[in-house]
Amino acid sequence: MPEAAELGTIRLQREQLSKQVAQQIQDNITEGKLKSGDRLPSERELAEQLQVSRTVVREAVKLLEDRGLISVNVGSGSYVVEMPPKAVSRSISLYVQQRQLSYAHLAAVRRMIEVEIAEMAARNATPEDIKGLEQAVHDAEEHLELT
């Protein structure tokens, strides 16, 4: 019978694989390759694509669900969710920390995200929202004239 330490090592490796798979999927979400509402490939398809076991994929999906990045609907599949600001902030923070990115890289990530946010805001703006923005611009211009 194998020693307990060997089993611990095997488990650690599987956990590392599931974290890597979760990170790869998260990167696709962060980079905009997977968008809100997109359905992830099935567990079997992901396992084949990434050349890992279905158990590793299952653990990775659980990690992503815990992070608030995907929603698992039994019988229907896993879907990328519209990320609340806290999840976006947490995802960016993890992405930057794990990759030890420079400020230039962080600025590039921000540009990708902020363009999406601006587009979404413009698409969903109500007449009241537009009126509020116009007022904010007017107030800013008045403030600039006073200084």
- 19 with 87, same domain: the answer is yes
Domain count, the chain: 2
Please say if the pLDDT value at position 95 is more than 80.
Answer: no
Q: Is the same domain home to 12 and 45?
A: yes
Q: What is the pLDDT of residues 122-146, one digit of tens each?
A: 888 899 999 999 999 999 998 887 7
Pair 47, 96 in one domain:
yes
Residues 74 and 89 grouped into a single domain:
yes
For residue 26, count CB atoms less than 10 angstroms from its CB and return exposed for 0-12, middle for 13-18, buried for 19 or more: buried
59 and 35 in one domain? yes
In terms of residue numbers, what domain contains 56?
A: 1-100
Digit-coded pLDDT (tens) for 33-85: 888 899 999 999 999 999 999 999 999 999 999 888 899 998 889 999 886 66
Neighbouring-strand partners of residue 79: 39, 71
Say what the pTM is.
0.54
CA-to-CA separations, 70 to 16, 44, 76, 133, 136, in angstroms, rounded: 20, 17, 13, 32, 35
Altogether, the residues listed in the chain come to a count of: 147
Taking the C-alpha atoms of residue 135 and residue 131, their distance in angstroms, rounded to an integer, is 6
